[in-house]
Amino acid sequence: MQYTDQMGQVISLSAPPQRIISLVPSQTEFLLDIGLQHRLAGITRYCIHPEVLVTSIPRIGGTKQLQLEKIIALQPDLIIGNKEENTEADIRALQQHFPVWMSDIYNLEDSYRMMEQLGEITGTSEPARELVRSIQQSFDDLPPIPPKMRPSVAYFIWRKPYMVAASGTFIHHLLGVLGLRNVFEHETRYPQIQPEQLQQMKPDFIFLSSEPYAFGEKHRQEFKDLVPDAQVLVVDGECFSWYGSRLQHTAYYFAQLRSRYHIT
């Protein structure tokens, strides 16, 4: 069988893969949630969910620091990666030896297609579709917010230097789903910004993500000093950036944020 990934690349498999290596935490969680724990031959050190299942699976480095020799030794019959999270050099090297299926995620529809396609490839279409249906319903239950009523937000992913999520990212898409307008939507991907730029934008909210930089309550005052009128929140980065089965929790988390901080 031939399958086309989300980057337009075609892979060939003679049978459903039995030795899978996942290079992306959110996709690892999804594969485990649809019952593939006995077929995962390797995962990254950042693959932490579900904790009860990942502890016994071999680790093959970080998402951008893959240990290629370990992967080759594990002899997978399928590798699953992501355009943003893995380096092109590593993926090209692995493609010389194994079928590599790549996701490329910008919005919820992309994430739904990724899950459905991986379900088809692995012979687990029904649990994958059921999971997608459940996630879709949870987002459908969130009432839409008219564009003219949307408060503004700056979403920080890094400190020293300051970096934000801008347009062309899954985070940017989910901020819109939550009902907020990204003040850095004129920028692309993950730009570095200066404190003066943040002050000029005067966002209603400043979100400090719990990952990849581990922002905590101790950082809130630093941003409050820059924009005193903004509400500065430490938010669950997994709910904004993990595009697999972690999305089961995201709509509920968004509903809580809307209610608690009057995002209506």
Domain boundaries defined on the chain: 2-139, 147-261
Question: Looking at domain 147-261, which of 3.90.1150.10, 3.40.50.1980, 1.10.1660.10, 3.40.449.10 is its CATH number?
Answer: 3.40.50.1980
Phi, psi of 236 (to 5 degrees): -75, 105
Same fold, 2-139 and 147-261: yes
| Cβ neighbours around 135 below 10 Å, total | 22
Q: What percent of the chain has pLDDT over 90?
A: 94
The type of residue at 206 is: I
> Mean pLDDT, the chain, as a whole number?
96
pLDDT at 147: 79
Mean pLDDT of 188-198: 96
pLDDT reading at 264 higher than 80: no
Mean pLDDT of 198-211: 97
Q: Is 3.50.50.60 the CATH number for 2-139? A: no
pLDDT reading at 36 higher than 90: yes
pLDDT at 149: 81
pLDDT at 72: 96
Burial-class residue 55 by CB neighbours within 10 Å (0-12, 13-18, 19+): exposed
Helix intervals (H) in the chain? 25-33, 51-54, 68-74, 88-95, 108-122, 125-140, 170-178, 195-201, 220-226, 237-241, 250-261
pLDDT reading at 146 higher than 90: no
| Cβ neighbours around 37 below 10 Å, total | 15
Q: If pLDDT is split at 50, 70 and 90, which confidence band does 43 have?
A: very high
Q: Which of 14, 63, 13 is closest to 71 using CA atoms?
A: 63
Mean pLDDT of 49-75: 94
pLDDT reading at 95 higher than 80: yes
Phi, psi of 30 (to 5 degrees): -60, -45
92 vs 264, higher pLDDT:
92
Cβ atoms of residues 204 and 230 within 8 Å? yes
pLDDT at 103: 98
pLDDT at 44: 97
pLDDT at 81: 98
Q: pLDDT digits over 245-256, tens only?
A: 999 999 999 999
pLDDT at 112: 98
The type of residue at 203 is: P
Mean pLDDT of 130-154: 93
pLDDT reading at 22 higher than 90: yes
